Structure 1
Amino acid sequence: MKLNLIQCHPDPRRLAAWATRFGLTAGGDDLGYALHTLLSAAFGDAAPKPFRYFDDSRGLLAYSAHDAEALQLAAQMAAPDVHATLGMGRFASRSFPTDWTSGRRLGFEVRARPVLRTNAGRERDVFQVAAEKVGVGEFDQSRETIYGEWLARELGRGDAAHIDSLRLDAFRLSASLRKGSAVNGKRPAQRVAGPDALLVGELTVRDPAGFSALLTRGVGRHRAFGFGMLLLRPPTAC
């Protein structure tokens, strides 16, 4: 399995104008859907995910199974406004580790959408679900604790990794657009609101292959819309 970390620098003003022109932000305060559409317009089936967009000098980071040459080739047919809006003039890529060792400690950061999908197809904040099970008046656990348990389950699938420490670094409710259910053969966009959490901590790799697959796939839902990219860093020195 090959994995590459790519970076480009979307132009904020062009991005806002492009998203508005195509109605990709109506009713939402998050640019995830607009960026998803922009990446698809630039790279087609090779559009990278998961990705994380920073409205600063870091730009957009993403993981991709495709190398820089393949992505540049895919983007050659992109419209000029797409190419300029995505900032392909400053496109960069490098290979990312895939050969992990069991017991390796790493720092991490992930922007996540900690939700559960109900049988009716709705998404519920896992914190609200936990509170309702106990009763609001008797519930004494923090949002950080509940989100930490949710993330531990996500990272523990296939025993990929174990969380050693975690903190909820930021939280807000954000709204964005998503494709709704098909109506007359079309899937109109609809406004979806939910938890938007920045989780930071340290982990230990347990299953190297499973951990590599987790990086490639991303964490939780809405991975194609700016959530779920597990960013790694060296662990804090003991």
Structure 2
Amino acid sequence: MTAFNLMHCQPDSRKLVLWAARQGWLPAGGDLGYALHAALHRVFGERVPKPFYFRDARAGLLAYTRSSAEELHEAAALCAAPDLADALGLDAGPRSPGLGVRAFPLRWSAGRELGFEVRVRPMRRYKAEDREHGTERDAYREHEARVEDEKELAREAVYAQWLAEQFEATGAAKLIEARMTRFQLTPVLRRTQSSEQQGGGGRKARTIIGPDATFSGHLRVEDTEAFARLLMRGVGRHRAFGFGMLLLKPASISA
């Protein structure tokens, strides 16, 4: 069976912002997703844990990984500069428990009901020739464009439908119920390859504003192997930037 672990660390938001600002990896008023993405890659390289979820400084960062605790601790010891290790909270101290890793269940029996929480970016992709809206669009705006003559649905309902489709697309799981516990529009920093392809001196930064929604609810596992792949891959798009990590809990615990 594939090794599967849950990693935790407790980044210091203030120090991470300072580190990311020096690198030019923080959009004005933006989410820390790209900064965390870049910081984790700087430390762990090919072993970078993903998907990950950073709720806040108090709860810290959670991530799934197929690397062992020994491999992750070795990478942190060898590759994390002191300021970056401090910003990510990789070493145990008064304000951080340090880097923690434990085994996490990967295989769940078909028919098992589980509580879940997930932070998602509900976007729908389009063909490249759709220049008016780019290659992806807020699922709620896309819904508005499609159903001008139909009854308008609340944003939560549209996003819940999008989430159900993500679970069911590969037969991994079926959504039983879900409620949106948090929503905002957030800018996410992305870097394109265009300047390099055109002979430029570096990757070009681009800020994309889009939906940022957190859902809690219950699901039912439909296919054991497909559900394992969903856990390892994450839900939806922008998974490398703090979206899509499916957090699980027993169905008997309120989701």
TM-score normalised by L of structure 1: 0.95
Matched, 1:95 2:103: yes
Q: Look up the equivalent residue of 2:153 and give its one-letter code.
A: Q
1:140 alignment partner AA: E
1:84 deviates by: 1.3
Whether 1:41 aligns to 2:49 is no
| Residues 101 and 74 of structure 1: CA distance in aligned 2, closer, same or farther (over 3 Å) | same
2-structure distance, mates of 1:56, 1:12:
6
1:156 corresponds to which of 140, 151, 168: 168
Gapped runs of 5+ residues in structure 1? none
Structure 1 residue aligned with 2:87: 85
1:119 to 114, 119, 127: 127
**Is the 8 Å Cα contact of residues 28 and 191 (structure 1) preserved in structure 2?**
no
Aligned to 1:233: 249
SS in 2 for 1:146: helix
Equivalent residue, structure 2, for 1:180: 192
1:202 aligns to what?
Answer: 218
Q: Structure 1 CA distance, aligned partners of 2:252 and 2:144?
A: 33
TM-score by length of 2: 0.89
Counterpart contact for 1:5–1:63, Cα < 8 Å = yes
Distance 2:160 2:188 in 1: 24
**Structure 1 residues 64-83: aligned runs within 5 Å:** 64-77=65-78, 78-83=80-85
Q: Are the aligned partners of 2:115 and 2:253 in contact in 1 as well (CA < 8 Å)?
A: no
Structural RMSD (CA): 1.6
How far is 1:235 from its partner?
Answer: 1.1
SS in 1 for 2:170: helix
How many angstroms does 1:79 deviate by?
A: 1.4
Query: Would you say how many aligned residue pairs link Structure 1 and Structure 2?
Result: 237
Question: Where in structure 1 do 4 or more consecutive aligned residues deviate above 2 Å?
Answer: 184-187
2:139–2:162 Cα contact (<8 Å) kept = yes
- 3-state SS, counterpart of residue 194 of structure 2: coil
What does the per-residue CA deviation read over 1:37-61, in whole Å, with 9 as the maximum and x for residues that have no partner?
0001111111111000122322000
2:173 paired with 1:165: no
In 1, Cα distance between the equivalents of 2:184 and 2:170?
30
